[in-house]
Amino acid sequence: MSRTIMLIPIGSGVGVTSVSLGMVRAMERHGVVVNFFKPIAQPKSGDTGPERSTTIIRNATNILPPEPFTMQYAENLISSNQTSDLLEEVVARFKTGTSEADVVVVEGLVPTIKHPFANELNYQIAKAIGAEMVFVTHPSNDSSQQLKERIEIAVSAFGGHKNTRIIGCIINKVGAPLDDQDRTRPDLTEMFEMPSSKTNTNLEVLQMFGKSPLRILGCIPWNPSLVAPRARDLAEHLDAIIINKGDMDTRRLQSVTFCARSIPNMVEHFKPGSMLVTSGDRSDVIVSACLASMNGVKIGCLLLTGNYRPEPQVMRLCERAMETTGLPIMMISTNTWQTSVRLQSFNMEIPTDDAERIELVQDYVAGHVDKHWIETLTQGSTLPRKLSPPAFRYHLTELARAVNRRIVLPEGDEPRTVKAASLCVQRGIATPILLGNPDKIQLVAEQQGVKLTEGVVIIDPVTVREKYVAPMVELRKGKGLTEVVAREQLQDNVVLGTMMLAQDEVDGLVSGAVHTTANTIRPPLQLIKTAPGANLVSSIFFMLLPDQVLVYGDCAINPDPNAEQLADIAIQSADSAAAFGIEPKVAMISYSTGSSGSGSDVEKVREATKIAQERRPDLIIDGPLQYDAAIMENVAKSKAPDSPVAGKATVFIFPDLNTGNTTYKAVQRSAELISIGPMLQGMRKPVNDLSRGALVDDIVYTIALTAIQASQQQ
């Protein structure tokens, strides 16, 4: 039986859209079939596009929520005493648009001066659609007692404590900095910095867990990175002229500094994520900002005021910095004071096209919602569950947290790797060990705006290489390795990290952000060897489709496996899928389905299928199958109606590297989906390779995979 949860904001500025996004993500993580509904659109001043929450959900998930009614339409019916007609239409749209869901998250209206009827209408809608109500609030500057009283007043307006449909509250923005009007600070500028005592006073809200009149279903701390806009968002708000676009679409702004002082007194503000605002005729600031960028500091952007375009000779001097560092530079006509006023009116809400920020908000908020409550929402549901991408990523991080393994990262001074190491510690995924010069690693971290905590272990290779010479000679004595050659090979940090793994000083190794696949896997093949019973090393990719996760193997290691090897790859891949929560239904891919085709390539797949079935009768394996027959139910019905795999395959085994690698890249790029891998299978200890184009999150999840593999092998 499906359930409906309506989020009802208590007052304005509580961040109900962010909470809605997090609630949807929390459901997805647990494999819940979820939908979303915003009954009535409530555009804010300046909004000109479609309703924000509904559009963001559509863009960020595989959900297709029904359209909301416009505010004008709702107001016309309410003012004409036709509220009952409005409610009937809301119910009809709700039922037709969300009928296939386990849980529907409904976002209520925010009570404002323009919409004083919001609370009453929220209550009527909740009753009409049979929703359970969850209040959303923020502490403001209230003490825990004042917040308790505010929640009690809200409860009384919705039927009081006797109303069993009121099930709890979510407290958002705990610890947020506030302005003098008790509002969450609306701007980024340093002149609005609050004393630390004021920003921390509402942390008393944590005491609410003991005396809240309602069950607290989530307590979400303030996180400034959730409100960091892109440089392009500020440019659009200010109608700026772009002098150098650079990384304007991706650079995040976390602070604003007005450069009114001399350079020596401003240098400390030249830091990652800072928007530097200066008059366009301050050539000293422009050159200094470009120099800082050339030194690796990712300044958010440079904003030139007064309609002063930099002199041509200054532009020539800074040309290389603008071409190579991605520093966005923009110009506006207003003076510094007028600019500061305009910045205060900047809308800090999430743009509907900012996928990175939406993802960050969803994951962060979901991580602070009571997961035990989420699990209760679908008890008894008969709807089938798929391991969606959010559920898979959550499953990975939870498994990795539980085992807490040590993972060595040979590319220790590579910027993405440094960021990933920091994130792994923050999320408790693993203990990352960075190999590299400590001073260089710390410099890279500072340039990226990353703070490396004690949980990130840094090892200087120069200080430890010598102790691995003798063990390495012992491991390779059958190949005639000498101390001189071993010492030379250990100059390669991948070899050094592999020796640490061989000596059981770490649990796994992740490399490949700057090394080739061959550079990453050759040392482990020589020093770690294959696992007992494994005849070869193969690989899989986890393909994160919009509504489920598929496994592709082998797309990275074996160029042209024979039938025996292909059977091994199928069995390894099926076991890996099961180990990560994916029910393995293995499709042996070919250009022919069943007995419809012939040729050596098809015969190899047919023979491999037979071998794998005989070796592992417990697995569901079928082939040869064409890709469309393996994945599409309607095609499967005509091409392979009796197949236990066709139309519902979760593991796809390709006949050779050419087919597998081409298919994985074509699907990944054409569908713009995330793939995690390659994850190596068959090694005695886990070693995993990265794509050289890997993003920070790709590295984080590969580290998580490696930690889980290490736990399973031990």
614-628 pLDDT tens trace: 999 999 999 899 999
Segment 682-688 mean pLDDT: 91
pLDDT at 645: 94
- DSSP-based three-state secondary structure for 616: coil
Give start and end residues of each alpha helix (H) in 162-305: 196-200, 208-211, 231-238, 283-294
Q: Is the dihedral of CA 579, 585, 591, 596 positive or negative?
A: positive
* Cβ-based burial of 617 (10 A; exposed 0-12, middle 13-18, buried ≥19): exposed
Q: Is 141:201 a contact under the CB 8 Å cutoff?
A: yes
* Amino acid, single-letter form, for residue 41: A
Q: Which of 145-149, 172-176, 431-435 has the lowest mean pLDDT?
A: 145-149
Containing 311, the helix (H) or strand (E) segment is none
pLDDT at 212: 67
Does this chain's domain 231-344 share its CATH topology with 390-527?
Answer: no
How far apart (Å, rounded) are the C-alpha atoms in residues 629 and 587? 9
Q: Is 254:364 a contact under the CB 8 Å cutoff?
A: no
pLDDT in tens, 523-561: 998 899 888 888 899 999 999 887 789 999 999 889 999
- DSSP-based three-state secondary structure for 8: strand
Pairing of strands 431-435, 34-37: unpaired
Segment 292-304 mean pLDDT: 92
List of E strands, 130-273:
132-137, 166-174, 216-221, 241-244, 255-258
pLDDT in tens, 444-500: 998 888 889 889 999 999 999 999 999 999 988 888 889 999 999 999 999 999 999
**Chain-wide mean pLDDT for the chain?**
88
Torsion angle of C-alpha atoms 617, 619, 622, 623, degrees rounded to 10: -90
Segment 147-163 mean pLDDT: 86
- DSSP-based three-state secondary structure for 434: strand
Place of tokens 């609306």: 186
Q: Is 702:691 a contact under the CB 8 Å cutoff?
A: no
- Phi/psi of residue 184, each to 5°? -60, 130
How far apart (Å, rounded) are the C-alpha atoms in residues 696 and 415? 9
Radius of gyration (Cα) for the chain, nearest Å? 29
Beta carbons within 8 Å of 462's beta carbon, 6+ residues apart: 437
Give start and end residues of each alpha helix (H) in 541-588: 563-579
Closest CA to 447 of 412, 410, 408, 419: 419
Place of tokens 């066709």: 646
What is the SS3 string spanning 322-335?
HHHCCCCEEECCCC
Q: Is 332:238 a contact under the CB 8 Å cutoff?
A: yes
Whether residue 707 has pLDDT greater than 60:
yes
pLDDT in tens, 353-362: 898 899 999 9
With cut-offs at 50, 70 and 90, classify the pLDDT of residue 194: very low
Whether residue 6 has pLDDT greater than 70:
yes
pLDDT in tens, 202-224: 445 555 556 667 888 999 998 88
**How far out from the chain centre does Cα 143 lie?**
34
* Amino acid, single-letter form, for residue 167: I
How far apart (Å, rounded) are the C-alpha atoms in residues 57 and 310? 42
What's 347's DSSP letter?
A: -
* Amino acid, single-letter form, for residue 543: M
* Amino acid, single-letter form, for residue 149: E
How far from 606 is each of 385, 560, 597, 624, 650, CA to CA, in Å?
A: 31, 15, 11, 6, 19
Name, of 97-106, 196-205, 644-653, the range with top average pLDDT.
644-653
* Lookup: tokens for 651: 């593991």
- DSSP-based three-state secondary structure for 186: coil
What's 383's DSSP letter?
A: S
Whether residue 1 has pLDDT greater than 80:
no
- Phi/psi of residue 549, each to 5°? -115, 130
Beta carbons within 8 Å of 589's beta carbon, 6+ residues apart: 605, 623, 624, 625, 626, 627, 630, 652, 653, 654, 655, 659
How far apart (Å, rounded) are the C-alpha atoms in residues 661 and 688? 17
Domain residue extents for the chain: 3-222+352-376, 231-344, 390-527, 538-682
With cut-offs at 50, 70 and 90, classify the pLDDT of residue 380: low
With cut-offs at 50, 70 and 90, classify the pLDDT of residue 144: confident
Q: What is the pTM of this model?
A: 0.76
Q: Which CATH number fits the domain 390-527, given the four candidates 2.70.98.10, 3.40.462.10, 3.40.50.10950, 3.40.50.10860?
A: 3.40.50.10950
Percent of the chain at pLDDT above 90?
Answer: 55
Q: Is 425:400 a contact under the CB 8 Å cutoff?
A: no
Closest CA to 134 of 113, 114, 112, 104: 104
* Lookup: tokens for 32: 């819940």
How far apart (Å, rounded) are the C-alpha atoms in residues 452 and 424? 11
Q: Which CATH number fits the domain 538-682, given the four candidates 3.40.50.10750, 1.20.1250.20, 3.30.310.80, 3.30.70.330?
A: 3.40.50.10750
Place of tokens 């994951």: 363
With cut-offs at 50, 70 and 90, classify the pLDDT of residue 196: very low
What's 47's DSSP letter?
A: -
Query: Quick one: CATH architecture of 231-344?
Result: 3-Layer(aba) Sandwich (3.40)
3-222+352-376 placed in CATH 3.40.50.2300? no
Q: Is-cis flag, bond preceding 624, omega within 30? A: yes
- Phi/psi of residue 660, each to 5°? -65, -50
